[in-house]
Amino acid sequence: MADLAKRFPENPLLRPAHVHPSAAGMQVICLLNPGVFRFEGKIWLIVRVAENTAAKEGMILIPVINEEGKTSIIEIPEKHPELINTDARVLRFQGLDYLTTLSHLRLLCSDDGIHFHEPEGYEPLFGKGMLEAFGIEDCRVAFLEGKYWLTYTAVSSNGVTVGLRTTTDWKTFESHGVIFPPHNKDCAIFEEKVNGMFYALHRPSSVDLGGNFIWIAESPDGIHWGNHQCIVKTRKDHWDDARVGAGAAPIKTDKGWLEIYHGANYKHQYCLGALLLDLNDPKKVIARSKDPLMVPTEDYETSGFFGNVVFTNGHIVDGDTITLYYGAADEFVCAAKFSIAEILKTLNV
């Protein structure tokens, strides 16, 4: 299988030990899936920090955010007959689903795109309220209409939804609540209006009919979304046969909107591929990768908190070069370069 990614020799750029836990008693388990943007001449990551609490003999401890906005701990006996604990990311107890870690978002910046630090004065973003009680994750950043639009996964016992906050200075944020109700994630807003409308890719999931497919929606204001259409489905017996979801904001090229997306198979291997959408009518899919552009192959991609994963929701573009930041094995932040022309060649356009 072709792998077009030119991985940074410095990978992983960030590991859990690079940041401090958000509070005493918490420990950082994973640093992953950063949104990426330019601000004040620097490259910034808004990275997902997944934490849990120190172990307790015979118990699984699940941190959640309670109604007062504080972290509280749910204790589940490890040997309980009603516990299903086969996935490192989620567990089922007495018929209810929980996440094994609680995620928030942290801002890091860099001059060279390789070495990142946490600048002073930029506070972490935490889940707020009952729709974000199990945390906020995997933030995409789009810059348009003079502000940054943050779309992220908001998780709670009510389900997995897409939340939206906007900012101009990364110090004050306006919250617009949930823009796509459950089950939905992987929402990437286009960085330009098309025919006067905002566009976004998103990924509702349907348990019976349908599946984990990429949809597109339009909006007059970026907050109220309609005219939803399903544009990309999973493909039987392919690398993306179980789930597909958008990466970051589509990249405008003269051939169309280029979207790097993730696809997973039934063995939970997550690879990256490309879509090309019509410039004037982005619900039309012009081309799609037959083979993945990037496959988990390096040690830091094949083993970690959840191995065999390359997952992206952020990049920067310089001419023909995409610098793609990605989560590896759900534990590390890595980067790789791609050539837009090379990707387009694989799409035969």
4 lies in the binding site for ligand MAN (CB under 6 A): no
Residue 244 has which token pair? 């597909």
> In whole angstroms, what is the distance from residue 259 CA to residue 276 CA?
6
Total residues at interface with ligand MAN (CB under 6 A): 8
Stretch that binds ligand MAN, among 9-17, 116-124, 153-161, 209-217 (CB under 6 A): 153-161
Q: Which part of the chain contacts ligand MAN (CB under 6 A), choosing from 118-126, 152-160, 240-248, 288-296?
A: 152-160
Q: Does 345 bind ligand MAN (CB under 6 A)?
A: no
Q: How far is the CB of 155 from ligand MAN (least distance, A)?
A: 5
Find the shortest distance in angstroms from Cβ 236 to ligand MAN.
Answer: 22
State the Cα–Cα distance between residues 259 and 113, nearest whole angstrom.
21
Residue 187 binding ligand MAN, by CB under 6 A: no
Sign, Cα dihedral of 14, 28, 100, 246: negative
Question: Minimum distance between the CB of residue 97 and ligand MAN, rounded to whole angstroms?
Answer: 9
Q: What span, in angstroms and rounded, lies between the C-alpha atoms of 91 and 95?
A: 10
Closest residue to bound ligand MAN by CB: 89
- The answer to the question of residue 285 lying near ligand MAN (CB under 6 A) is no
Residue 107: HSE in the Cβ half-sphere, 13 Å Cα cutoff = 19
Q: Is 181 helix (H, G, I), strand (E, B) or coil?
A: coil
In the structure encoding, which two tokens stand for residue 105, read together? 């978002």
For residue 308, the minimal CB distance to ligand MAN (Å) is 13
CB of 40 to ligand MAN, least distance (A): 31
Binding letters toward ligand MAN, positions 82-121, x by CB under 6 A: -------xx--------x----------------------
333 lines the binding site for ligand MAN (CB under 6 A): no
In the chain, the amino acid numbered 7 is: R
CA atoms within a 13 Å half-sphere pointing along the CA-CB vector of 59: 13
Taking residue 245's Cβ as centre, other Cβ atoms within 10 Å add up to: 25
Q: Are strands 226-232 and 251-253 parallel, antiparallel or unpaired?
A: unpaired
Gap between the Cα atoms of 2 and 19, Å rounded? 34
**Interface with ligand MAN includes 157 (CB under 6 A)?**
no
Report d(CA 242, CA 40) in Å as an integer: 40
- Give yes or no for residue 331 binding ligand MAN (CB under 6 A): no
242 counts as binding ligand MAN under rule CB under 6 A: no
Instruction: Please give the residue ranges that form the binding site for ligand MAN (CB under 6 A).
Output: 89-90, 99, 137, 153, 155, 160, 185
